[in-house]
Amino acid sequence: MFGLEVAERLDFGGERLAFLQLGAARLELIESAPQAPRRTGPVDHVALEVRDLGGLLRHLEQRGVTLVDREPIDVPGLNARILFCLGPDGERLELFERVQP
């Protein structure tokens, strides 16, 4: 209806993920098990695609940013690494870096 196309689907960490795409924009949909509802509300997080996740991680640590993950997490199904941190109002931010397969 909105011109979004399914770009990728995968199972990760007990959840089913679908990535919808329109041009360069992507929307991630997450299906959790009913017994494990998310406590974050209808918007779980905002993802930002970055380059040099390792360098950015060091920069965030130096600035005292609250990290949800201490190290990047490999997501082989997406050829990516991710890391979550908290924004200034406690919102979850996902930093997403593509890697070569």
The torsion angles phi and psi of 53, rounded to 5 degrees, stand at -60, -35
- Residue 9 sits in which domain range? 1-40
**What order do you get walking across the sheet with 46-49 strand by strand?**
46-49, 92-98, 80-86, 73-75
Give pLDDT, residue 41.
62
Strand pairing report for 92-98 and 46-49: parallel
In this structure, what CATH number is given to the domain that contains residue 76? 3.10.180.10
pLDDT in tens, 28-60: 888 877 666 656 666 678 888 899 999 999 999
Q: Do 28 and 53 sit in the same domain of this protein?
A: no
Please list, in sequence order, all residues whose beta carbon lies within 8 angstroms of the beta carbon of residue 73, skipping any fewer than 6 positions away.
81, 82, 83
- Asked if residue 9 has pLDDT above 60, the reply is yes
Token pair of 57, please?
Answer: 């991680």
pTM check: above 0.75:
no
pLDDT in tens, 68-97: 999 999 999 899 999 999 987 788 899 999
**What order do you get walking across the sheet with 5-12 strand by strand?**
5-12, 15-22, 25-31
Number of structural domains (the chain) is 2
Higher pLDDT, 10 or 101: 10
Higher pLDDT, 2 or 13: 13
Higher pLDDT, 22 or 97: 97
Higher pLDDT, 33 or 24: 24
Report yes or no: 38 and 32 within 8 Å, Cβ to Cβ: yes
Q: Do 50 and 65 sit in the same domain of this protein?
A: yes
